[in-house]
């Protein structure tokens, strides 16, 4: 695992489909570490054990499901969080312990923000860390090889209008670091000047609604 921020670690890259790459991220906390997204790398789990294990695992959407969820549960006893609109998909692997339904605060400093419609239950997580504000966008917003943020619209599946509304919601935030789930082989996260975030999201919004 690679440390990318004082309390945030990035797992080794995975390639679940041609042209698609993913990482997971471990947020270390005195009250229990949180793993965002998912990983199947054995060495990452060994590194997580050295860092205090995994108390919670939060998925941004159903594409992050995999048998590794059960391995992480068995190894660390991690509680799984996912959106209620995708609980039937989750149940094929593992029933969530925590169901997200509306915007709420979990674990005292994690703002859970439902953001359909990359998938119906797509959810973002806005962490208020002592070291900055981290926005985990899942695939609602993804980072391109060129370093631009783009909406995770799937033609024939996603609802463009609903996704546009989700981008408007994210535009109101002021993150110091933004971390996506799936990406196309460039970087998977970006540290930014918070004041620049609304304009970055607006560019993605304009491309989406054209």
Mean pLDDT of 108-136: 96
Q: What is the pTM of this model?
A: 0.96
Query: Taking Cα atoms as reference points, which of 50, 68, 56, 57 lies closest to residue 14?
Result: 68
Mean pLDDT of 88-105: 95
* Predicted confidence band of residue 158 (pLDDT cuts 50, 70, 90): confident
Domains identified in the chain, total number = 1
pLDDT in tens, 75-84: 999 999 999 9
* Predicted confidence band of residue 20 (pLDDT cuts 50, 70, 90): confident
For residue 19, pLDDT beyond 80: no
Distance from C-alpha of 120 to C-alpha of 28, rounded to nearest angstrom = 29
Which CATH number characterizes residue 12's domain?
3.60.15.10
Give me the phi and psi of 67, to 5 degrees please: -65, -20
Q: Which domain holds residue 44?
A: 2-209
């Amino acid at each position: 695992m690679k440390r990318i921020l004082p309390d945030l670690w990035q797992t080794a890259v995975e390639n679940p489909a041609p042209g698609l790459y993913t990482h997971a991220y471990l947020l270390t906390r005195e009250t229990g570490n949180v793993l965002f997204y998912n990983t199947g790398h054995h060495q990452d789990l060994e590194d997580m054990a050295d860092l205090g294990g995994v108390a919670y695992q939060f998925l941004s959407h159903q594409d992050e499901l995999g048998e590794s969820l059960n391995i992480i549960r068995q190894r660390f006893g991690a509680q799984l969080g996912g959106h209620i609109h995708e609980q039937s998909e989750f149940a094929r692997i593992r029933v969530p312990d925590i169901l997200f339904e509306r915007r709420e605060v979990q674990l005292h400093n994690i703002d859970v923000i439902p953001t359909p419609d990359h998938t119906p239950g797509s959810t973002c997580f806005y962490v208020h860390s002592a070291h900055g504000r981290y926005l985990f966008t899942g695939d609602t917003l993804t980072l391109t090889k060129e370093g631009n943020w783009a909406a995770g619209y799937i033609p024939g599946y996603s609802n463009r209008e609903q996704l546009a509304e989700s981008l408007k919601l994210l535009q109101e935030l002021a993150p110091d670091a933004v971390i996506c789930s799936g990406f196309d082989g460039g970087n998977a996260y970006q540290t930014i000047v918070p004041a620049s975030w609304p304009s970055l999201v607006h560019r993605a919004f304009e491309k989406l609604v054209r």
